[in-house]
A and B are shown apart, each in its own frame.
Chain A
Amino acid sequence: MLSTAFRARPVVFRNTSAFVRNSSSAHGQETFESFTERYVEFFKSAQDLFEVQRGLNNCFAHDLVPAPAVCEAALRAARRVDDYATAVRIFEGIKEKVENQKQYQAYLEELKPVREELGIETKDELYTS
């Protein structure tokens, strides 16, 4: 928890000369891989529903689709806090974030083992069956 908060910050205070403006370019840029790793760690350590949902809000708020690893960690976190609705909601979030139906299908395929293991239906499956 605390470590994630620290990691989110720009890490370096560089020894810049007086003539260089310290503007926004000095902010640390997080790579997709470190983002994924950070949220996988977060969801592994999230212990209650509020934390899981807060993490979901945060990782779905960026201009990227969270990696399947993050989604899987989030699904397992939802299972750990015993909230089925949140697990269904994760797939709705993915559907919102992806660019097209094909990508959504790819995510569904990728996460199929977890879904079958935990018994998670998507919203469409819930309301069409």
Chain B
Amino acid sequence: MQALRLARTTRVTPLRVRALTTAAPSVASGSSSSTSASVIPLSNVEAQWEKMSSEEQLAVHQQLEAIQKKDWKELSIDEKKAAYYVAFGPHGPRAPINPPGSGVKIAFGTFALIATSGLIYYGVRQLGGPPPKTMTREWQEASNERAKEQKINPISGISSEGYSGKGFVQSK
């Protein structure tokens, strides 16, 4: 029974087609699966459905069809759940694209990537040399004085009348 269940991974195909196509290799197991139809407990169909072989799924289907012919008020909650699950449960084409919990996973992965890139950025910065000697305020102010001495850009730039810009100063 269990071996039969594990023997093949099932794909959801229309039942009629499946019954026809799978009949050929397992003529012997066909009779055994029809006897096992009553053995499959409907209370646990939701957990087992994905692992069932197509013969067993067909058996459950037929079993449920027979059950649903009865008065629905007499059905147990397990039978109702099984009928609903087999028809509209989240398997086959209705399986959720993202399994539950994947939102948290994706958020965690995104933050991990951002953190890693930050680490790489600072790591590479650590490997680099110190900034050049011209990138100091003193040096740049001295450059400004030199520029005024030489009357660089007298019309609109640093040596012009009433100039209020910073000149060469860019370091703090």
Residues in B with CB closer than 8 Å to A120 are: 72
Sort A-B residue pairs by CB-CB distance and give the 10 closest, nearest first. A85-B87, A119-B73, A119-B72, A85-B84, A84-B83, A82-B69, A82-B68, A84-B68, A85-B83, A88-B84
Count of inter-chain pairs, beta carbons less than 8 A: 43
CB–CB B83/A119 < 8 A: no
Which residue of the partner chain, among B65, B72, B77, contacts A129 with CB atoms under 8 Å? B77
Known: A82-B69, A84-B68. A126 touches B77 (CB 8 A): yes
User: In the complex the two chains form, is B72's CB within 8 Å of A126's CB?
Assistant: no
Q: Is B80 an interface residue (CB 8 A)?
A: yes
- Are B65 and A82 in contact, with the CB atoms below 8 A? yes
B42: interface (CB < 8 Å)? no
Cα A85 to Cα B73 with chains together (Å):
14
> With A82-B65, A83-B87 in contact, is A127–B81 under 8 Å at CB?
yes
Number of interface residues of A (CB under 8 A): 18
Q: Which residues of the partner chain B approach A83 to less than 8 Å between Cβ atoms?
A: 68, 87
B residues adjacent to A (C-beta < 8 A): 65, 68-69, 71-75, 77, 80-81, 83-84, 86-88
Evaluate contact between A85 and B71: CB separation under 8 angstroms: no
Select one of A84, A89, A92, A127 contacting B72, CB under 8 A: A84
Contacts of A119 in B (CB 8 A): 71-75
**Given A121-B80, A126-B80, A126-B81, A84-B88 contact (CB < 8 Å):** no
Distance between Cα atoms of A88 and B80 in the complex (Å): 9
A114 → chain B closest CB, angstroms: 11
List which A108-129 residues lie within 8 A (CB) of chain B.
118-121, 123, 126-127, 129
